[in-house]
């Protein structure tokens, strides 16, 4: 019986390390959008959105559209956050982002979450589970005089292409995690049945 219990626990840990889609592609960002002014004119899909970081000098005049913040976990890169920020601004019709800033927060993880992550993550990740990293990128989406901005090209904007690829990768990651889960459950089930039969025969 003791061997059977050990087999079940070991199998759960092995299964969990293979089914988390975050291992293959990051989860969608969390976002907060506070609209200041409705922009009725949509932005063409070939328009690149420049960034003006916080405290940057010589920022052209602008009209405020919305305050935007996107948040990702430790799996996200700065480029991913920037492209998601641009994408949200683009949807609102803004053609630039000002007062842009990047930041990180580290906070304690609930005990129940630590246990769940220990079961569902690879062994080397467990040491990090007492704290969690939160990365954010925020900025003010605005409309500027288009003559002060880069000339639009003929191809689709880079941030739109980026988000399309990101979403495709996430769909593939979730499908891969789901397939791994099915395979692992089948293998584990077969292993448990074999262990029960062996245990009964040995008794």
pLDDT in tens, the chain (203 residues): 544 445 444 544 444 444 565 666 667 788 999 999 988 888 889 889 999 999 888 899 999 999 999 998 777 888 889 999 999 999 999 999 999 999 887 766 555 444 445 544 544 444 455 566 788 999 999 999 988 887 767 778 989 998 888 888 878 777 777 776 666 667 666 666 766 676 676 55
18, part of any domain: no
183, part of any domain: no
9, part of any domain: no
188, part of any domain: no
Query: What's the domain count of the chain?
Result: 1
187, part of any domain: no
184, part of any domain: no
For 155, which DSSP code? S
Which CATH number belongs to the domain containing residue 60 in this structure? 3.30.110.70
162, part of any domain: yes
* pTM (2 d.p.): 0.67
Range(s) of the domain holding residue 130: 28-176
3, part of any domain: no
CA torsion 62-70-177-197 (nearest 10°) is -170
């Amino acid at each position: 019986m003791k061997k059977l219990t050990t087999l079940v626990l070991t199998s759960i840990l092995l299964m969990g390390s293979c089914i988390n889609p975050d291992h293959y592609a990051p989860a969608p960002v969390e976002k907060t959008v506070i609209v200041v002014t409705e922009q009725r004119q949509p932005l063409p899909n070939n328009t690149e959105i420049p960034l003006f970081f916080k405290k940057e000098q010589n920022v052209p005049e602008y009209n405020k559209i919305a305050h935007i913040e996107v948040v990702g976990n430790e799996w996200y890169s700065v480029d991913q956050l920037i492209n998601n920020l641009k994408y949200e601004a683009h949807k609102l019709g803004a053609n630039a982002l000002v007062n842009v800033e990047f930041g990180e927060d580290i906070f304690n993880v609930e005990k129940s979450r630590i246990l769940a992550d220990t079961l569902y993550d690879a062994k080397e990740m467990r040491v990090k589970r007492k704290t969690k990293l939160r990365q954010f990128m925020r900025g003010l989406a605005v409309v500027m005089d288009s003559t002060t901005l880069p000339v639009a090209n003929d191809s689709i904007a880079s941030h739109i292409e980026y988000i399309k690829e990101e979403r495709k990768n996430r769909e593939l990651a979730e499908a891969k995690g789901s397939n791994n889960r099915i395979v692992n459950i089948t293998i584990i089930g077969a292993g448990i049945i074999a262990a029960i039969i062996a245990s009964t025969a040995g008794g």
